[in-house]
Amino acid sequence: MCSVGDDVDEEKAKFMQKKITLNFTNALCIKCRTLKPQVILHNQYPYCKACFLSGTVHKFKALLGKNRVVQPNESVLIHHKAGHASTALLHFLRTGLDLNTPKKIRFKPIIAYIEDNYELNVEDRTHISRQVSDEAERLNFPIVFINLAQYVTNKSNLPSIVHEKVEDLRIDPDDNMKIRAAVKSNSTLTTQTEIVHYFERELLLKVAKHLGCQCIFTTDLGIDIASQLLKNVTLGRGENIVYDTGVVDSRDMDVSVLRPLRNFTIKELALYNYFNHLEPVSFYRKTKNPYSSMQNLVEKFLADLHVNYPATISTIVRTGDKLGVNNEPSEDRCMLCKVPIRKEIESLGSAEATNFSHWISTQTRSCDKSLKERTSQILATFDNNKYNKYCYSCNQIAPYLCQ
């Protein structure tokens, strides 16, 4: 049966808005309505330079104000990822710290740069790290450097691999091999990417604790949130969406993760940097083959879709904000992603159906029994294995960890 017409809901016909070309010849800034606009956001909203800049700073402060996860005089770890977002974030913080008003920022940011560009050559990686160091210095922030590959090789001695000077950061040509060695060689790129992602999160949390920080700021933009949400859906991580994409991630008892840039687009921050005469740390990223992993495919899909349907990313982010999880959490947490493992639900679910398929596909049938008897036996002996160490999705990748 044709299902195209199913897309229409009784109340309103929801269609994604295609990109529209508007005429701005006589437009004025929609905020002050006095000056001619210099910037246009989301293909629809024109702003003059002053209103754009003040609006951007205000948006940042509003999110911080609304989510009071940081107390005055607390230390906050800033996860630097080299690029427009990181530069803008540092500038927002510096401006906020230098204020002489009651609204001044009172927490203490420390930057952490996790060197994870093991796909590039040593020279480029060193150059990028130095640029990050220079940026931290220019904006007057303390910074530490850690090589992810070193952490993955030896997780037990963290203080020895956290460096305050970029010169002490060891970058080796075989870091790529070290990362690969942490995951079994028969795993797919999708699985490897997942596992490395969790190592990085684990490292970030440990560094935060080592430096006495109770909070981490990430540089995730709207597109990163939307991308993470879709990736979670495709990997069976519906339960993680609330943590991986929300404003605050409080999975860890001691350290919260805040995503202050989640309502920004890269265009906004690139223009913010430009008008403030800031140059971000930039480098060539290796082109990713979109068909080599689930994550790459989702990223490409989203980037392409957004070009023709500019409301895509904000729609997905807003959808994510309204989603919660379906059933009661138990006390246990997944060993890998630390999400509370859901209690067993009574009704049939996808996991059980898959388990049953696998069960029935591997049962040797005795041909002297009738079909009905065989079926009864298969149903009777089926045991839906419950996960107690890992959540549904981590359970699929756990076998590929080299412990």
Partner 1 sequence: MSVDTLPISIGFGGGAELLFGNKKNFAISLPVQEITKWQISDLLKWIQDNLLKERPELFIQDNSVRPGILVLINDVDWELMDTINYVIQPNDEIVFISTLHGG
Partner 2 sequence: MSSCSTKCGKKAVLKRPKTGDVLCKECFFEAFETEIHFTITRAKLFKAGMTVAVAASGGKDSTVLAYILKILNERFNYDLRLVLLSIDEGITGYRDDSLDTVKRNRDDYDMPLTILSYKDLYGWTMDEIVAEIGRKNNCTFCGVFRRQALDRGAALLKVDCIATGHNADDIAETVLMNILRGDLARLNRCTSIITGHGDGIARVKPLKYTYEKEIVMYAYFKQLVYFSTECIFAPNAYRGHARVLLKDMEKIDPAVIMNIIHSGESLTVNEEVNMPTLTKCSRCNHVSSQTVCKACVLLEGLNRGLPKLGIGKSSKAKKMIAEHDKKKYECSSSAENKQCICKNDPVGNSIDRKNDVTW
Residue 346 CB, nearest distance to partner 2 (Å)?
10
Of 86 and 295, nearer to partner 1 (C-beta) is 86
Q: Output the smallest distance, CB 307 to partner 1, in A.
A: 5
Q: Amino acid identity of 246?
A: G
Q: What gap in Å lies between CA 104 and CA 121, rounded to an integer? A: 41
Q: How many CB atoms sit inside 10 A of residue 178's CB? A: 18
Contact partner, 86, from partner 1, partner 2, none, Cβ < 5-8 Å per class? partner 1
CA separation for the pair 168, 145 (Å, rounded) = 8
Q: How far is the CB of 38 from partner 1 (least distance, A)?
A: 5
Residue whose C-alpha is closest to residue 323's, from 243, 223, 258 = 243
| Complex with partner 2: residue 45 or 356, whichever CB lies closer | 356
CB of 99 to partner 1, least distance (A): 26
d(CA 16, CA 308): 10
Q: Which of residues 170-199 bind partner 2 (CB under 8 A)?
A: 188, 190
CA distance 250 to 263: 19
Q: How far apart are CA 80 and CA 145, in angstroms?
A: 10
| Paired tokens of 189 | 């790129």
In the complex, least distance from residue 390 CB atom to partner 2, rounded to whole angstroms: 14
- Nearest distance from C-beta of residue 228 to partner 1, angstroms: 15
Q: Nearer to partner 1 by C-beta: 92 or 390? A: 92
Rank residues 239 and 299 by Cβ distance to partner 1 and give the closer one: 299
Q: Which of 146, 293, 338, 390 touches partner 2 by CB under 8 A? A: 293
Q: How many CB atoms lie within 10 A of CB 65?
A: 10
Q: Is 101 in the site for partner 2 (CB under 8 A)?
A: no
Told to check if 307 binds partner 2 by CB under 8 A, we report no
- Taking a C-beta distance cutoff of 8 angstroms, is the pair 111, 93 a contact? no
Euclidean distance between CA atoms 180 and 252, whole angstroms: 27
Q: How far apart are CA 309 and CA 20, in angstroms?
A: 9
Q: Which residues within the stretch 234-253 sit at the binding site for partner 2 (CB under 8 A)?
A: 234-239, 241
For residue 18, what are its two tokens? 């295609």
- What Rg value do the Cα atoms of the chain yield, rounded? 24
CB of 50 to partner 1, least distance (A): 12
Q: Is 5 in the site for partner 2 (CB under 8 A)?
A: yes
Give whichever of 171 and 341 is closer to partner 1, judged by the CB atom. Answer: 171
CB atoms within 10 A of CB 58: 12
Q: How far is CA 349 from CA 234, 344, 356, in A?
A: 16, 10, 11
Contacting partner 2 (CB under 8 A), which of 58, 358, 369, 386?
358
Residue 49 interacts with which of partner 2, partner 1, none, CB < 5 to 8 Å by class: partner 1
Residues binding partner 1 (CB under 8 A): 24, 27, 37-40, 43, 46, 49, 81-86, 266-267, 270-271, 273-275, 279-285, 303, 307
Q: Which is nearer to partner 2, 16 or 122 (CB)?
A: 16
Interaction partner, residue 122 (partner 2, partner 1, none; CB < 5-8 Å by kind): none
Out of partner 2, partner 1, none, what residue 185 binds, judged by CB under 5 to 8 A for its kind, is none
Q: How far lies 164's CA from each of 78, 97, 281, in Å?
A: 14, 22, 19
Region from 42-50, 85-93, 106-114, 318-326 binding partner 2, contact rule CB under 8 A = 318-326
